[in-house]
């Protein structure tokens, strides 16, 4: 992959979908469905070019797009595919600014591919980065919002039926999320979303860099480990600098759709060296907290990743099932998510756990020689 970008090919899509599911910490929408939609766009002759953060001039306009809603809806109400494209075009129309590139709101799940689809349809490149370095359930939980101050400008929502709704002005991004979430529920709990144009100078300073490439590399590690019959979990942990915190069998699972979110928890009975212990994972679209025997071991914004123990397949929250044997991997969040300013928005207290303090994980990845 060139330092100046590369053109995404069909062979990249399965690794991208695996890596995006891994980084999605359980959320972001089903990556397999996102992969299928992206593949069809490429097969129709569209081009998907991935460019680095330093390619465009400071004054270029960049649009952040992605799906909004509860992940489980992706199975029950299949997206049409052009929702983010229509939302982005609505923003261009109302602002008069033409986008020079798109960027993922989040790298997780199918939302890693939503801007690729929209950009390919529009003939635009996609910037190799995103606003979370993972997935979060709410729109204000991006580095674009956290470090953007009180951002003015409209946002747009588009559904599979052709409806487009503009939120012309919101007093802050928390209100923008609240209004957008209510509209999304009316649209069937799933829609495409686009934010106000951002200058490339701003995006360069606050985006989490290189995450599309990172997702592809993680996916290739998984594919290679399977092909060579290596332990997939061990290979992924080594490649990412993560840590295996727990392994267990799902013995209880609760999920319910409330307020446009999938909320609940998974309870695990420990296996192997964790036999006799109990794990519990809190869910709000994504995995938020891992407890083992009542002790919190990982909390947001660090990444909690569930993978099938035997295959290393990352599991989004909507595909968790009773009886699954899973490994729980912890991965350190990007430094932009661990500042005091960021933790007010994406730390455990922001998710309703006032008793929990964020204790950042350390990377185990060895430095390059």
Name the average pLDDT for the chain. Answer: 92
Greatest alpha-carbon pair distance for the chain in Å reads 61
Q: What is the DSSP secondary-structure string of 271-297? A: -GGGTT-EEEEEEESEEEEEEETTEEE
- pLDDT exceeds cutoff 70 at 72: no
User: 0.95 exceeded by the pTM?
Assistant: no
Residue located via tokens 């990249």: 12
- Cα separation, 229 vs 221, in Å, equals 12
pLDDT of residue 74: 62
Handedness of CA 84, 265, 32, 101 (dihedral sign): positive
- pLDDT exceeds cutoff 80 at 258: no
- C-beta of residue 327 within 8 angstroms of C-beta of residue 319: no
pLDDT of residue 247: 97
pLDDT tens-digit series, residues 103-142: 999 999 899 999 999 999 999 999 999 999 999 988 899 9
pLDDT of residue 39: 95
Q: What is the mean pLDDT of residues 266-289?
A: 94
pLDDT above 90 covers what percent of the chain? 80
pLDDT of residue 285: 82
Q: For residue 11, with 0-12 CB atoms within 10 Å meaning exposed, 13-18 middle and 19 or more buried, which class applies?
A: exposed
**Cis, peptide link before residue 301, omega less than 30° from 0:** yes
pLDDT of residue 316: 86
pLDDT tens-digit series, residues 159-212: 999 999 999 999 999 999 999 999 998 998 889 999 999 999 999 999 999 999
pLDDT tens-digit series, residues 147-172: 986 667 899 999 999 999 999 999 99
From the CB of residue 42, how many other CB atoms can be counted at a distance below 10 Å? 19
- pLDDT exceeds cutoff 80 at 256: no
pLDDT of residue 318: 82
* Structural Rg of the chain based on CA atoms: 19
How far is residue 132 from each of residues 12, 28, 277, measured CA to CA in Å? 22, 11, 32
Q: What is the mean pLDDT of residues 25-46?
A: 91
Give the pairing of strands 61-69 and 164-167. unpaired
Confidence band, pLDDT 50/70/90 cuts, at residue 369? very low
Give the number of C-alpha atoms closer than 13 A to the C-alpha of residue 141, restricted to the C-beta side. Answer: 22
Give the tokens for residue 213: 């490439």
Distance between first and last Cα of the chain: 20
pLDDT of residue 27: 83
Give the tokens for residue 53: 């953060």
From the CB of residue 359, how many other CB atoms can be counted at a distance below 10 Å? 11
- pLDDT exceeds cutoff 70 at 5: yes
Question: In the beta sheet, which residues pair with residue 7?
Answer: 49
Q: What is the DSSP letter of 246?
A: E
pLDDT tens-digit series, residues 217-253: 999 999 999 999 999 999 999 999 999 999 999 999 8
pLDDT of residue 158: 97
pLDDT tens-digit series, residues 303-349: 999 999 989 999 988 888 999 999 999 999 999 999 999 999 999 99
């Amino acid at each position: 992959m060139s330092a100046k970008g590369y053109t995404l090919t069909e062979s990249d899509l399965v690794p991208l979908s695996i890596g995006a599911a891994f980084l999605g910490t359980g959320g972001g929408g089903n990556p397999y469905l996102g992969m299928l939609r992206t593949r069809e766009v490429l097969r129709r002759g569209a081009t998907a070019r991935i460019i680095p953060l330093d390619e465009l001039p400071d004054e270029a306009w960049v649009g952040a797009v992605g799906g909004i809603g509860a992940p489980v809806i992706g199975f029950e109400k299949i997206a049409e595919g052009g929702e983010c494209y229509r939302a982005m075009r609505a923003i261009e129309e109302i602002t008069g600014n033409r986008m020079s590139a798109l960027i993922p709101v989040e790298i997780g799940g199918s939302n890693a591919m939503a801007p690729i689809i929209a950009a390919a349809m529009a003939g635009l490149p996609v910037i190799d980065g995103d606003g979370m370095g993972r997935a979060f359930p709410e729109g204000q939980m991006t580095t674009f919002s956290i470090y953007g101050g009180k951002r003015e400008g409209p946002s747009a929502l588009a559904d599979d039926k052709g409806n487009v709704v503009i939120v012309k002005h919101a007093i802050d991004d928390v209100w923008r999320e609240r209004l957008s979430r209510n509209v999304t529920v009316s649209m069937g709990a799933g829609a495409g979303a686009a934010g106000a144009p951002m200058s490339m100078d701003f995006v360069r300073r606050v985006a989490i860099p290189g995450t599309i490439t990172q997702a592809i590399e993680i996916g290739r590690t998984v594919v290679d480990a399977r092909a060579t019959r290596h332990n997939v979990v061990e290979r992924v942990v080594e490649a990412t600098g993560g840590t295996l915190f727990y392994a267990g069998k799902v013995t209880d699972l609760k999920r319910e759709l409330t307020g446009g979110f999938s909320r609940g928890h998974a309870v695990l009975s420990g296996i192997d060296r964790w036999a006799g212990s109990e794990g519990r994972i809190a869910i709000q679209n994504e995995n938020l907290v891992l407890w083992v025997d009542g002790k919190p071991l990982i909390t947001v914004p660090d990444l909690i990743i569930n993978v099938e123990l035997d295959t290393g397949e990352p599991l989004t929250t909507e595909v968790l099932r009773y009886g699954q044997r899973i490994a729980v991997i912890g991965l350190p969040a990007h430094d932009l998510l661990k500042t005091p300013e960021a933790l007010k928005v994406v730390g455990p207290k922001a998710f309703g756990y006032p008793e929990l303090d964020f204790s950042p994980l350390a990377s185990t990845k060895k430095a390059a020689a």
